Chain A
Amino acid sequence: MGFMNLLKHLLSDDWGVHPDDHKRPAADAPVRVMPVPQRLYLPLQQHLGGPARPVVLVGQQVSKGELIAEAQGMVSAPIHAPTSGTIVAVSEITAPHPSGLTLSAIILEADGRDAWGELPACVDPFSLSPAEIGQRVAAAGVVGMGGAAFPSSVKLVGASRAKVTTLVINGGECEPYLSCDDRLMRDQAAAIIDGIRIMQHATGANVALVGIEDNKPEAIAAMQRAAGRGDVVIRPVPARYPMGSEKQLIQVLTGTEVPADGRPADIGVIVHNVGTALAVRAAVREGKPLISRLVTVNGQCAAYPGNIEVRIGTLAEEVIAFAGGLKGDGLGLARRIMGGPMMGMQIPHWRVPVVKGSSGILALDASEVAAQEPNPCIRCGRCVKACPMGLLPLEMSARIRNQAYDEAIDLGLKDCIACGCCAYVCPSTIPLVQYFVHAKGELAAQDRTKLRNDATKKLALQRQERLAREAREKAEAAARRKAEREAAAAKVAAEAAAVNAQTQGESA
């Protein structure tokens, strides 16, 4: 606890937490490039939004960079073959998700040649219109590389329409253990700056602010050297979790707050990650799709922590083996995490593929996880102080425990960004985030049920109306037929009468 932190604590300007960052030595180790594995497992849903739709057949030969699944819907991203080879199956595999649920994925058998297919021509990005840049970024399947994996082109195109003035670049990397962005900034600063300029051109933002936490002096220095004195400004920010969260970073860098029901674009800001800048540059300048990424392998159990460049679709198991395996063959391994320790997810086993948004593979031992039985809340208020959104986690969790979800919403449940600060500081180790995630899931389910009920009700109503109409029509038809029949009968009777009369007359 530094003096400044103590001062901030006294002034209550102390949202968030200061976890032990565990970034070194992994951050200082040079990047290792992992060779293409035998098989790649490419889930169709690697991003937020609709899953991609496969456009290849089993048995088909594909070259590196070839489109194998296309975007489906407004918010979606295509997937490309990370290497050349044969499609062997489209089937279900364990998804990078704690539930251990399966997702459908394309399985690609590498042929070892790793030969590029035809790529879109290289062009000067600054001669392209924003819409054209957006198209190239969309076609390359670029998504947010920081973890959320929101399709980048959607944000870029939206921004150019929304009169965005400030491009915020997130180099915060506030999650402990992770250092892939740090490494990118140290090693490829010039390319990142180029990518930032391209995004600036695409969005029409007149200034780009790069926020980098001050625990990465090397990255700050490299980026400052590369940026020069242009309109890309490198801004060191205090190391504090969750500095890299969109709303927090915007507030620290621009001093404005994103309205609770708005998006950053509403206040003229858009946020992208440094890794995304690099991917955008590759897509626009070289026409290369997103097929590989830097992943941090870390944790007490990892024998040789460091950053590894891997193809999308590589199993975590193989990444770890390449990185040097686990200490003592995984003895003492307490939890497997994909992503960072604060917001990442636990995975049930290592046979889970790296996807576009995977920033880390962590093998944590019991002391790091510090799992403990929860105790009753002692109302110490630490969670309130830590919450970067200004919520009352203790009150929300108490409401959720009583299933009073509406009250939890009134307390701001929907503003919760699931950052985990509250649970991190709770002395009673109450799994607060679990409550919030559960409640949000419940609410979503309720919404769905309500929608379904409404739909059912509507259908029932329609059916009733239809039946009523049919009955009415039937009755009318029957009445008509009856009237016709009667009319006909009357006519017959009249004719008969006439005939009778005639007969009678004749007989008379």
Chain B
Amino acid sequence: MNSHVLTAQPVASPHAHGGNSVGRTMFRVQWALLPATLFGFWLYGWPSFFMWLLTVAACVGFEALALKLMGAPRIKASLLDGSALLTGWLLALTLPPWAPWWVPVLGGFIAIIIGKQVFGGVGQNVFNPAMVARVALLVSFPVPLTWWVHPLPGGGLPAPDVVEGLRIFLTSLPVPDAMTSASLLGHAKTEMARGIDLLHSLGGESSRLQSWFGVRAGSFGESATLLILAGGLYLIACRIISWHTPLAVLAGVALPAAIAHGIDPARFLAPETHLLSGALMLGAFFIATDYVTSPNTALGQLIFGLGVGFVTWVIRSFGAYPEGMAFAVLLMNALTPVIDRFIKPRILGRDRQGKPLDIPEGQGA
């Protein structure tokens, strides 16, 4: 009767799987970023393409190196899941489009080695690696990191061809002044520092319609608000992210902005300007929603998002830097373990404190 031996190790249920995988998730996120990225290439030409390519390659390369040095098993599978690639991509989108070659390489190193592998690799990092790199670069090299080139198709200058683009990228020669300009937030901040209030400084600034389509100076890709928004909505529709974090981030910026702008329009930017500028959309949909570094309950995500939004607004309005998204994300990343500790879903049959619900009177054996 017992002549049949065990043919396979027993496996616990379930014996089916939804088919979702890390690779598929990451692929969808990249798919959602593609329109904004292509738009960025069109806007900023060949140098931006090289910048993007090298950032991604640096991240993947450093990831492979780190895994190899640590003797991790299944290096290829870990690389193919695309998380390093996505980190690089997100970092590239927040860099100046004509950043010279060493910025992507250094950024990739900081993001992957310091931001991720030092913490123990996938799923262990406390801070969003792309934001760690972005902030580290911004603090260490403020000048090249705020070299915003004028968008080419709108700027009227001839676009550099491949060779010219490569030269700009590799030599990091200063770009002619005619080609650079301040981002909207930066412009507002410097003008304010010179004592010119917003009502005047923004008078000749690009129209709102233009900012919807991103045709103005800013970092690579993050300015194409509409395309980023579309990508984000796509992610919500296919359930890669939930709506809680993005909505909370946007509300966290828009609410205080609306109140402050209502009180003193000469001192504070209007909420729609906040929403449409800088890294906000990218941050709300693609960065604050990073799985590893954000809470995993709906309520936790709302709190996290509001925090990111509010801190962003505070830094933009009162801080030394024109843009505060990256700092805000890092700050809230640090708070994520705390949020996760206190905010847990209610267990069925228990109250929020985890005590069993009362058995009603008059029932029970």
Contacts and interface: CB of A to CB of B under 8 A. Distances in A.
Interface of A: 6, 9-10, 12, 17, 19, 91-94, 98-100, 102, 158, 161-163, 176, 247-248, 251, 257-262, 265-268, 335, 337, 341-346, 348-349, 351, 362, 364, 368-373, 375-382, 384-385, 387-392, 394-395, 410-412, 415, 418, 420, 423-429, 431, 433-434, 437
Given A94-B1, A378-B291, A392-B345, 14 more contacts: A9-B239, A258-B349, A259-B356, A346-B10, A346-B11, A348-B10, A362-B15, A371-B11, A376-B124, A378-B292, A385-B242, A410-B354, A420-B13, A431-B11
Contacts, number: 208
16 contacts: A94-B2, A94-B4, A98-B11, A260-B357, A267-B359, A267-B363, A268-B360, A337-B15, A345-B10, A346-B11, A369-B17, A379-B296, A390-B345, A427-B20, A427-B25, A433-B14
B243 interface: yes
Interface pairs A-B: 10 shortest CB-CB: A381-B296, A420-B14, A98-B10, A434-B12, A260-B349, A260-B356, A370-B17, A259-B357, A341-B16, A390-B345
Contacts of B350: 259-260, 412, 415
Contact of A424 (B18, B121, B354, B360): B18
B242 A259 contact: no
A94 B1 CA distance: 8
| Interface size of B as a range | 35 or more
A130 B240 CA distance: 53
Contact of B362 (A163, A259, A437): A163
B6 interface: yes
B68 interface: no
B77 A373 contact: yes
A378 B83 contact: yes
B364 interface: yes
Contacts of A391: 345, 347
B13 A418 contact: yes
B259 interface: no
A259 B298 CA distance: 24
B8 interface: yes
B122 A19 contact: no
A362 B15 CA distance: 10
Contacts of B8: 335, 346, 348
Contact of A429 (B17, B25, B83, B349): B17
Nearest to B300: A381
Nearest to A163: B363
A390 B347 contact: yes
Contacts of B121: 376
Contacts of B356: 259-262
B2 A433 contact: no
Contacts of A378: 22, 25, 83, 122-123, 291-292
B13 A384 contact: no
Contact of A415 (B21, B81, B291, B349): B349
B242 to A, nearest CB: 7
Nearest to B362: A163
B344 interface: yes
B19 interface: yes
